[in-house]
Structure 1
């Protein structure tokens, strides 16, 4: 297997590696004549990301066999791409044969310098797949990455998990609907009561989807999803750099939330790459803790100081502890979420999702792991 990338395709490739590296530690590579697929799974098995590239993205793309599988450490590829992309004319990757233990990377720089790297690979990786049908999710919305980042900027930078609550405005009582003025979506910081924290700040942000979202679909009862912010921000950065919107698909607490680029190609053509991020959501619904449809107040008091609302934002002083330095232990995801036997379909297998009180050591035994072998670098 070998390929060469240059120009805007090289920027897409580098952007993809950066995003994948913020999700997992190991990159599983699957190459076939029809596509090149990258997969990664985080250590807690709560986040899975895949990015696929079509052959027309590359200057040259060759696969000598029907299927090539291997895995490399993402930190090794990040070391290869430490050279600024703007100074690289093209980059080539070569796996001499399916059983090779090293992957060769060559950078041709505009300065005339050629840099060659060899990274250690595992030729028998433990392939992890999540098979989810986006059409099976009952609710979804499309948002511009820059707009979503602007909304997230209202929350503390140390926030580890966020809750999104989606409501059907048409199903609300008329008096409640008039009070929230069309703000059918709520973002709130998740507070883990089991962990010790150093802050008492809790943020709630009510959103009118017709103003902030490109598209919004949700009917029926309110639903909520609590999931990690780290991977969300990484995917938003990836989509913003690719100049595409983000499409989020969801169902309810305990079910996975899926994110994908929304290319919006009106001429019927397709993009030469695609991406999917799947995040586990907290099993316990936050809607049970109180009335989530209560409209925000104009101002609140925190330890005697007034904190005024800006737009639809309100921040509450609370006796509950705030976000911790580490993500919650209440979410986990295993390799197969869906049933693909053709007879039935389930977006969630109870056996693939475990509670926080289960023994995590048992699950960690089968996690993807490749020994850290420093790559050999040579510049020519």
Structure 2
């Protein structure tokens, strides 16, 4: 196999290999008569990424007929370590290289990458040792699903910008006229986690062909990888799937190449886990003279409070006011439960009495003593004390302090 990649296409193959490196640690090469495929799998085998470069992608694509036999199904296969391939495709190769040539012989244990640079006529040859020969069969075609969606990469990028970078999974609720995207958390709900929901209408997609309404949950990392690659070359992203629990395909097409990722999914409803959860927070006390709302915890604390104990930062000896405070709080409880009799149970004078006792009588226990004065401030006052002394003394005005230097010997009046 001998194929030559022109300089203008080296950026495409470089970005494609970098995208594959985000998925798996091994890269499978399959050379056929009219195309070259690069495939990888992640460790858990839940994501499969494949780049297919057609014959028109190369300036020269040649495969020897004696290497294509019936035993290997008319395909040349080999496997490489991703760490050995990735360093060759770093940087802006389209500006540096004149062409890239890939050579492979079935009888050899090496794959050869020849890079011809534009400047100084440098030709670099990289020999990469092959791994054990292995054939990878996926068994899933990119267009096997009954639901098809096609959207621009900018639209999907705007949707992802609504989610946090810490989100690992996304849930898509697909209906006939719209799609609802939510972030997904496994297990119990955490109030500190932000729940996001984005609604997209069918008119925002180039193709919106939904024959089966479903809910699909999958990982966000493959979607971020696809969007990053698609925005570089201004490609549209297609989604093909059947339903939750079956594979979902993210597809990008170009006249000379196509890239797709097959991602495993699940249906959250069948797993017994809800995609959305609501948490109830305790209501806060609002200090409003017209509407007094008190939580149940505060009411119980006020009723069980021992007002006879000494307070650390102040003493309250007026027992009548304390008992009055408790009785007013009990009236507030009946006021919130029986709104029809609110004028009889609690009046404006009682409410004002509550706030007057709270503010004027220092019932609040959270009293923090003042901090002592800083010694540095005392030192500054001592050093600059002369600056604050008066510079003019009124009793000395009108008196002769020193004689005049002129000959008239006039006095200062």
TM-score range, shorter chain: 0.5 to 0.7
Residues 224 and 108 of structure 1: CA distance in aligned 2, closer, same or farther (over 3 Å): same
Q: Does 1:119 align with 2:128?
A: yes
Within 1, Cα distance between the matches of 2:13 and 2:282?
49
Alignment of structure 1 residues 247-262 onto 2, 5 Å: 247-262=238-253
User: SS of 1:93's equivalent?
Assistant: strand
User: SS of 2:31's equivalent?
Assistant: strand
Within 1, Cα distance between the matches of 2:174 and 2:147?
9
Residues 302 and 34 of structure 1: CA distance in aligned 2, closer, same or farther (over 3 Å): farther
Residues 48 and 133 of structure 1: CA distance in aligned 2, closer, same or farther (over 3 Å): closer
1:69, CA displacement in angstroms? 1.0
Name the structure 2 match of 1:50. Answer: 50
Contact 2:182 2:198 in 1 (8 A): yes
1:254, CA displacement in angstroms? 0.4
Name the structure 2 match of 1:188. Answer: 182
Q: Does 1:206 align with 2:199?
A: yes
1:31, CA displacement in angstroms? 0.8
Contact 2:28 2:78 in 1 (8 A): yes
Once structures 1 and 2 are overlaid, which stretch shifts more, 6-15 or 272-281? 6-15
Contact 1:164 1:188 in 2 (8 A): yes
Q: Deviations over 1:55-114 (max 9, x none)?
A: 22112222222132101112221111124312222111112x203211111222222233
Within 2, Cα distance between the matches of 1:68 and 1:303?
66
Alignment of structure 1 residues 36-185 onto 2, 5 Å: 36-64=36-64, 65-66=67-68, 67-85=75-93, 86-95=95-104, 97-112=105-120, 113-132=122-141, 134=143, 136-169=144-177, 184-185=178-179
Unaligned runs of 5+ in 2: 69-74, 285-413
Instruction: Identify the structure with bigger relative contact order (alpha carbons < 8 Å, sequence gap 6+).
Output: 1
Within 2, Cα distance between the matches of 1:105 and 1:69?
16
1:244, CA displacement in angstroms? 1.9
User: SS of 1:285's equivalent?
Assistant: helix
Within 1, Cα distance between the matches of 2:109 and 2:190?
45
Residues 125 and 291 of structure 1: CA distance in aligned 2, closer, same or farther (over 3 Å): closer
1:118, CA displacement in angstroms? 1.7
User: CA-atom RMSD, angstroms?
Assistant: 3.0
Name the structure 1 match of 2:221. Answer: 230
User: SS of 2:173's equivalent?
Assistant: strand
Residues 284 and 56 of structure 1: CA distance in aligned 2, closer, same or farther (over 3 Å): same
Within 2, Cα distance between the matches of 1:167 and 1:69?
42
Within 1, Cα distance between the matches of 2:8 and 2:191?
44
1:226, CA displacement in angstroms? 0.7
Name the structure 1 match of 2:11. Answer: 11
Aligned residues: 274
Work out which of the residue numbers 183, 202, 215 in structure 1 matches 2:207.
215
Higher share in strand: 1
Within 2, Cα distance between the matches of 1:302 and 1:110?
66
| Structure 1 segments (4+ residues) deviating >4 Å | 196-199, 286-292, 300-305
Contact 1:254 1:282 in 2 (8 A): yes
Residues 25 and 186 of structure 1: CA distance in aligned 2, closer, same or farther (over 3 Å): same
User: SS of 2:130's equivalent?
Assistant: strand
Contact 1:254 1:284 in 2 (8 A): no
Unaligned runs of 5+ in 1: 170-183, 264-270, 306-380
Contact 2:51 2:258 in 1 (8 A): yes
Contact 1:260 1:275 in 2 (8 A): yes
Q: Deviations over 1:317-350 (max 9, x none)?
A: xxxxxxxxxxxxxxxxxxxxxxxxxxxxxxxxxx
Larger Cα Rg: Structure 1 or Structure 2?
2
Work out which of the residue numbers 236, 240, 251 in structure 2 matches 1:245.
236
Q: TM-score, normalised by structure 2?
A: 0.60
Work out which of the residue numbers 259, 267, 272 in structure 2 matches 1:275.
259
1:202, CA displacement in angstroms? 1.6
Within 2, Cα distance between the matches of 1:118 and 1:291?
50
Residues 226 and 47 of structure 1: CA distance in aligned 2, closer, same or farther (over 3 Å): same
Residues 252 and 237 of structure 1: CA distance in aligned 2, closer, same or farther (over 3 Å): same
1:159, CA displacement in angstroms? 1.3
Contact 1:70 1:122 in 2 (8 A): yes
